[in-house]
A and B are shown apart, each in its own frame.
Chain A
Amino acid sequence: MEIDLQHVVKLARIDLTPDEEARIRPQVEEILKYVEKLGELDVSDVEPTAHAVPLTNVMREDEIQPSLSHDDAMRNAPKKSNGLFVVPKIVE
């Protein structure tokens, strides 16, 4: 079981140090090898369980209700300006 760790790390958007990569790779591979035991079971006629309680869509009237103020929603932002989140430049 060899995984393309660089690809997964890119999908997950997590930088790993070379040390972390060296530790995590064999651990993840060992866990993936362990979970292969699920392959022993024939599940072709089994329905998947996403949630174990029956869920139905919950609707409410389309009315404005109190919610977080703009200031409260912004107050933990690491970088903000004029009531907006600031991110690194995306387009030239």
Chain B
Amino acid sequence: MPHTLTIHELTTQLAARQLTAREATQACLDRITAVDENLNAFISHDAQDALAQAAAADAAIANGASHDEQPLLGVPIAIKDVIAVKNQPLTCGSKILGDFISPYEATVIGKLRDAGATIFGRLNMDEFAMGSSTENSAFGPARNPWDQERISGGSSGGSAVAVAVDECIAALGSDTGGSIRQPAAHCGCVGLKPTYGRVSRFGLVAYASSLDQIGTLTKDTRDAATMLNVISGHDPRDSTSIQRDVPDYASGFGENLKGLKIGLPREYQAAGLDPEVRDSVDAAIKQLGELGAEVREISLPHTEYAVATYYIIATAEASANLARFEGVRYGARVEGSDPESMNRATRGAGFGEEVKRRIILGTYVLSSGYYDAYYLRAQKVRTLIREDFLKAFEEVDIIASPTSPTAAFKIGEKAGDPLQMYLSDIYTISANLASICGISVPCGFTSGNLPIGLQLLGRPFGEGKILQAAHTYEQATDWHTKRPTIN
């Protein structure tokens, strides 16, 4: 059952010649055939291309290539359909890109290839990463493997499902307001959003440029560290990527948590937090305390303004970024008698309703007469939110909370009420506004057997610290080893 392995288990077996990369990739492809018709984690996948890459990895291993040099050699990794892989389709979960084939490759994909990974599959997502449930995909929702009547989370829902049910060994996602952490929590896997600037976004289709970040979905924290080691670093092709050394993110693993200070935001005990989620997260925090961490209450006074701030900034940036889909240079087109009517018809037919709603909202808040009242004010409140976090991080090393206020909700439950959907992002969006890092790890189940996620937020470039704490917790628990039964 090679598809059920983690990166570190698989590479150990590959190195020991107990298994071939081809067998590992074939096992993932077989798993997709067996379960994905219902789960809908993949929009498409190119089996032949995947097996050819795996065969090349086997040849490299036979010629003496080592996992010290190439830590992902022979590891099948699936990609959210918003990151460009050369000569593969790129849909962003939308109809508007038509049969677009990517003519170039994202920097993160090049890094994964250099590390020996087998890159395969296009993972389902909310259209242009706008959503918290994957219900906004033009290709239908990715279903939660623990209860297929429920959402997988979003926007990287396909990535979380594929990892949770072993259709791949690990996956890439993107996180603009929680889009990696929330689906990881809902599906029971590990989701890591690195600090803004840590990972190059060249080749990531932009949604909200000041918030977007590529990150990982994995079966455990060691794999998250391995993936982050590979994809991090400065890229001259992304001017927002930071010139800063990449440490070994697993270097703190095995050390105890003595002296680690964990803060609990007073403001996060708000109405709407499900009691079962609260109890699981409280138990996890108690356990972190028993493992040596000091736990104390902190305050993030501007928490109640985060959702409003996010939905102004994100939609404004989206309205500008998505102007490029106009029916001229790529994608689908609906003809019109003049360029403007062609643009309008193309965008009207090509975008789904949530994308239209956000572009309209973003266009409005940027329009003449409203810019200062909405966009500029939101950017100022963003400063206050960021300052809350930086001040809190003078007192504590890590901030702990639930990842999401509830477990996965039913498909369709919030679809008619976008504001309610937005409010469910309360614990995750602040990390993007403050440009810090965060991770979600499994920490329990509801009485209905739905996974619950514990979120740990860290200082800018503090990924090593949150990974260390998450790993220590993981070693003391077995939540991350639970797998759904697929019927």
Contacts and interface: CB of A to CB of B under 8 A. Distances in A.
A82 to B, nearest CB: 16
A20 B220 CA distance: 42
Contact of B236 (A3, A51, A58): A58
Interface string A73-91: 1011111000001011110
Contacts of B103: 68, 72-73, 75-76
Interface stretch (B2-10, B52-60, B331-339): B331-339
A52 B210 contact: yes
A38 B305 contact: yes
Q: Is the interface of A mostly helix, strand, loop or mixed?
A: loop
Interface residues of A, number: 52
B227 to A, nearest CB: 22
Nearest to A36: B308
B382 A48 contact: yes
B335 to A, nearest CB: 7
A43 to B, nearest CB: 4
Interface residues of B, number: 72
Given A68-B103, A76-B329, A90 B356 contact: no
B308 A28 contact: no
Contacts of B13: none
B210 A50 contact: yes
Contacts of A3: 364
Nearest to A55: B240
Ranked 7 nearest A-B pairs via Cβ: A15-B348, A52-B435, A48-B379, A76-B330, A78-B333, A43-B380, A72-B103
Interface of B: 98, 100-101, 103-104, 196-197, 210, 236, 239-240, 242, 302, 304-305, 307-309, 311-312, 319, 323, 326-333, 335-345, 347-349, 351, 353, 356-357, 359-361, 363-364, 367, 374, 376-384, 386, 418-419, 422, 433-435, 460
Given A16-B356, A52-B434, 11 more contacts: A13-B326, A28-B361, A31-B361, A31-B418, A41-B302, A46-B384, A49-B380, A52-B435, A53-B242, A76-B103, A76-B329
